[in-house]
C-alpha cells in the first residue's frame, strides 16, 4: 500500500510539474522566443544587403537583429544578413513598435493591425473602427485605440495570447496615444480636449485590475508627444514644453522645462535625450541628457545637421549629416565613427545597423 501510495504521489507530482511547465510556456510564449532563436541562427550572405526599390521608414531593433520597416511591409534580417521573415502590408500610414521579441505594425487612420515575430505572423486584426494608436508591452500585451460610434474612442487591451482583458469607452477627450507598462498590467493614454480657448492635454492612467480610471492629470497648453513606462512603474512624459515623471497613481514626481523647441528627442525607460538649437549658429546643436529623475546629467554639441538620436540605455547614437557619433549615456564622451554615408541607423544589442546608398550595413559597437 505504501509503495502504491508513493507511486501515485510521484505520478501526481510529475503531472503537476507538466501542467506548470505547460502553463509557463503558454503564459510567457516561450515557443515564440524559441522560433526567434532559430531564425537568428539562419546563415546569410553578409552585408551590405541590397534594399533597392524599398521606401524605408525606419530600422527597428529586434534583440541583436533588425526589422527594416518600409511602406510596403517589414523585413527581418539577422547578423548574417539573412532575411528571416517578410511581412507585406498595404497600409497607407504604417506605424510600428517592437517589444518582447515581437513587432506590432498597424495602419494609422486605417483598420489593419498585425503582430509578428522573426519567423512568422502571430496575430491579425481588422478593426471595426479607425485605428488611432496602438502599443505592445515587453510581455507582448497589446493595446489598441480606435474610433467607435457614440464615443470619441474605444481602448481595448489584450493579454499576450491576444484575448481581450480590458475595455474602456472614452467620452470626454480625443485619444492621441497609448503606452503600456513594461509588464502589461497598466496603461497610460494621451487625451486631448479644449478648455475655453486653450488646449488641454490629459494623461489618463488605467490599471487593468481596477474598474475605475486610476488618474486623469491635466496639462494645460501642452501637447503630449511621448509616454514610456519605467521598470519602477512610473511614466516618463515628454510634451512640447516640459518633461514629467508621474507615479502610476498620477502623482507628479518630477518636472523639467525644455530649454527650447526640440529638434528631436529620445524617450526611453530611465533616460531622456533632447536635441535643440541650429547647426548654422555658432553654438551648433546641443544634445541634453536627463536621468530617470529628470535631472540633467550631461550635454554635448555638434555643428552638423542632426538626423536622429537612438539610445538603448547603455549607449547613444547621434546621427548627423556626414558623421555618426557614439556616446555614453551621460554624454561625457562622444566619439565619431567615421561613417559619412549613413542616413538611418539603430542600436540592436551590441550591434549597429544602418542604411547607406549600398543598402543595409552592420557593425559592432
pLDDT digits 0-9 by tens, 301-350 = 999 999 999 999 999 999 999 999 999 999 999 999 988 899 999 999 99
The residue count for the chain: 365
Q: How far apart are CA 295 and CA 271, in angstroms?
A: 9
State whether residue 21 is helix, strand or coil.
Answer: helix
Residues 359 and 48 sit within 8 Å (Cβ to Cβ): yes
Q: How far apart are CA 60 and CA 48, in angstroms?
A: 17
350: left (phi over 0), alpha (psi -120 to 50) or beta: alpha
Neighbours of 351 (CB within 10 A): 17
Residues 39 and 118 sit within 8 Å (Cβ to Cβ): yes
Tell me which long-range contacts 296-302 makes (C-beta under 8 A, separation of at least 24).
296/256, 297/330, 297/331, 298/329, 298/330, 298/331, 298/332, 299/331, 300/327, 300/331, 300/334, 301/277, 302/334
Q: What angle do CA 266, 238, 293 make, to 5 degrees?
A: 85
**Omega into 253 within 30° of 0, i.e. cis?**
no
Transcribe 109-157 into DSSP letters. TS-EEEEE-SSSEEEEEE-SS-EEEEEE-TT--EEEEEEETTEEEEEEE
Whole-angstrom CA distances from 88 to 51, 70, 122, 132, 136 are 15, 9, 14, 21, 20
Q: How far apart are CA 326 and CA 153, in angstroms?
A: 41
At 20, phi and psi to the nearest 5?
Answer: -65, -45
Banded model confidence at residue 13, pLDDT cuts 50, 70, 90? low
The pLDDT value recorded for residue 20 is: 43
Over residues 249-306, the pLDDT tens digits come to 999 999 999 998 899 999 999 999 999 999 999 999 999 999 999 999 999 999 999 9
Over residues 189-220, the pLDDT tens digits come to 999 999 888 999 999 999 999 999 999 999 99
Over residues 144-187, the pLDDT tens digits come to 999 999 999 999 999 999 999 999 999 999 999 999 999 999 99
Angle between helices 30-40 and 2-28 (to 10 degrees): 60
β-strands 359-364, 334-336 pairing: unpaired
Amino acid at each position: 500500500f505504501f509503495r502504491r501510495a508513493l507511486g501515485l504521489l510521484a505520478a501526481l507530482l510529475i503531472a503537476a510539474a507538466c501542467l506548470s511547465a505547460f502553463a509557463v510556456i503558454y503564459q510567457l510564449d516561450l515557443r515564440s522566443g524559441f522560433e526567434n532563436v532559430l531564425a537568428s541562427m539562419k546563415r546569410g550572405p553578409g552585408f551590405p544587403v541590397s534594399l533597392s526599390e524599398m521606401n524605408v521608414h525606419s530600422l527597428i531593433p529586434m534583440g541583436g537583429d533588425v526589422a527594416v520597416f518600409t511602406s510596403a511591409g517589414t523585413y527581418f534580417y539577422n547578423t548574417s544578413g539573412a532575411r528571416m521573415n517578410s511581412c507585406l502590408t498595404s497600409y497607407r500610414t504604417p506605424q510600428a513598435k517592437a517589444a518582447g521579441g515581437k513587432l506590432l505594425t498597424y495602419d494609422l487612420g486605417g483598420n489593419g493591425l498585425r503582430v509578428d515575430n522573426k519567423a512568422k505572423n502571430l496575430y491579425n486584426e481588422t478593426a471595426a473602427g479607425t485605428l488611432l494608436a496602438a502599443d505592445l508591452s515587453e510581455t507582448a500585451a497589446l493595446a489598441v485605440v480606435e474610433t467607435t460610434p457614440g464615443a470619441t474612442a474605444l481602448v481595448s487591451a489584450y493579454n499576450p495570447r491576444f484575448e481581450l482583458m480590458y475595455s474602456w469607452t472614452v467620452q470626454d477627450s480625443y485619444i492621441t496615444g497609448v503606452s503600456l507598462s513594461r509588464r502589461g498590467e497598466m496603461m497610460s493614454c494621451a487625451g486631448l480636449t479644449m478648455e475655453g480657448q486653450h488646449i488641454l492635454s490629459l494623461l489618463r492612467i488605467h490599471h487593468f485590475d481596477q474598474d475605475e480610471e486610476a488618474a486623469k492629470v491635466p496639462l494645460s497648453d501642452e501637447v503630449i508627444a511621448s509616454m514610456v513606462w519605467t521598470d519602477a512603474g512610473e511614466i516618463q512624459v515628454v510634451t512640447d514644453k516640459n518633461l514629467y515623471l508621474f507615479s502610476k497613481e498620477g502623482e507628479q514626481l518630477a518636472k523639467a522645462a525644455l530649454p527650447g523647441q526640440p529638434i528631436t528627442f529620445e524617450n526611453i525607460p530611465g533616460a531622456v535625450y533632447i536635441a535643440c538649437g541650429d547647426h548654422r549658429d555658432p553654438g551648433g546643436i546641443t544634445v541634453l541628457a536627463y536621468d530617470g529623475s529628470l535631472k540633467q546629467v550631461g550635454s554635448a554639441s555638434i555643428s552638423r545637421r542632426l538626423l536622429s538620436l537612438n539610445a538603448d540605455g547603455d549607449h547613444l547614437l547621434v546621427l548627423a549629416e556626414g558623421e555618426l557619433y557614439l556616446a555614453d549615456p551621460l554624454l561625457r564622451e562622444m566619439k565619431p565613427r567615421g561613417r559619412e554615408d549613413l542616413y538611418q541607423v539603430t542600436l540592436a544589442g551590441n550591434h549597429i545597423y544602418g542604411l547607406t546608398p549600398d543598402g543595409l550595413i552592420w557593425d559592432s559597437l
